[in-house]
Chains A and B, each alone.
Chain A
Amino acid sequence: MSVKIRFFARFRELLGTDVIAEFAPGTSLTGLIKQVAGKNKEGYDAIFDENGTFREFVILMRNTKRVDPAESGNIMVTDGDEIAVFPPVAGG
């Protein structure tokens, strides 16, 4: 089973643009992103804090719907899902 993860901005620079990830049944959204981001420490640290929690500003979407990162541990990924992980930027 596989999903597509779209990273944006800084996350994209660290982890790639459109990542196709294989996953085992019962994998949560959090687990999936940790699995993919885990390949690059800097990428992982950009998304997750020292407790393994999503940094509060991270925006998560699943199939174009917003997901509260705090809930993403309870959401199981399904085959064909498209996940977006986005860090808002603040400069001007």
Chain B
Amino acid sequence: MLSERERERYKRQMMLFGDEGQERLKKAHIFIAGAGGLGSPIAIYLAVAGVGTLTIVDMDVVDRSNLNRQILHFDTDTGKKKTVSAEEKLRALNSDIIVNAIDEEIGGANASRLVGRADGIVDAMDNFPTRYLLNEVALEKKIPLFHGAIRGFHGQATTILPGKTPCFRCIFPKAPPKEAFPVVGTTPGIIGTVQANEVLKYLLGRGNLLTGRLFVWDGLESRADEICVEADPCCISCGTSKTP
């Protein structure tokens, strides 16, 4: 049931999907892996849309060099734990949702526990090893993984539905080299918003998801392309012909 305050808050989007859609968002629990460049716009847009429970995990401390893009964190948050800063801002944005901010490093020993019974995982990571781990958790729990990644003016996004689409490892069997990547804030702003939009569409059951498609954004050309991606039957994570 939506309160009078919630009805007022979500009035303009309920024109699109009514009570039924808003209730779906309210009942949902979304796990956001990372409160940085991607995590910030993702968390902000899911919070203001009224996704009922957000769990956001990050182990980092706000650094001045984060501030060009990590818009959940302000000048005055430098030195603070990102989870503390994120929780404060998200609660201020929307006091009608539940925000769990967890200060832990996502690893093999805790990833499944951290995700818990969330309805979906949003990849707001900055490295491939943890992305592969999130992929395994999504496959194990049979929940969607909303992938996004950026570098400079370029970004990519796709939505992974275990058993229905290629998994993350089908698409990216090998990781690019680790680096201190260049980034301007608009790039994770755009890709993070695309990911948040995918989450909303999935929860609402509306539109067509980026399934089997890699959305490729070129911010220098302001052009989006699409690369079709297919499941790999020999994929070591999800392949039907992999050795058990």
Contacts and interface: CB of A to CB of B under 8 A. Distances in A.
Interface in B123-151: 123-128, 131, 148-151
Given A9-B154, A57-B176, A90 B181 contact: yes
A50 B228 CA distance: 30
A40 B217 CA distance: 23
Interface of A: 6, 8-10, 12-13, 17, 56-57, 59, 61, 64, 66, 84, 86-92
B176 A90 contact: yes
Nearest to B42: A92
B38 A92 contact: yes
Nearest to B36: A92
A92 B228 contact: no
A88 B176 contact: yes
B221 interface: yes
Given A92-B34, A92-B124, A92-B125, A8 B154 contact: yes
B52 interface: no
Nearest to A86: B227
A88 B172 contact: yes
A92 B218 contact: no
Contact of A57 (B150, B152, B177): B177
Interface of B: 34, 36-39, 123-128, 131, 148-152, 154-156, 172, 174-179, 181, 183, 188, 216, 218, 220-221, 225, 227-230
A87 B179 CA distance: 14
A89 B230 contact: no
Given A8-B216, A8-B225, A91 B172 contact: no
10 contacts: A8-B227, A9-B216, A10-B152, A13-B220, A61-B227, A88-B176, A89-B150, A89-B176, A90-B176, A92-B38
Given A66-B229, A90-B149, 9 more contacts: A12-B218, A13-B152, A17-B221, A89-B151, A90-B179, A90-B181, A91-B149, A91-B181, A92-B150
A86 B221 CA distance: 16
Contacts of A84: 227
A17 B228 CA distance: 18
B131 to A, nearest CB: 8
A92 B39 contact: yes
A12 B151 CA distance: 13
Contacts of A12: 154, 218
Nearest to B187: A91
Contacts of A86: 216, 227
B228 A57 contact: no
A12 B155 CA distance: 13
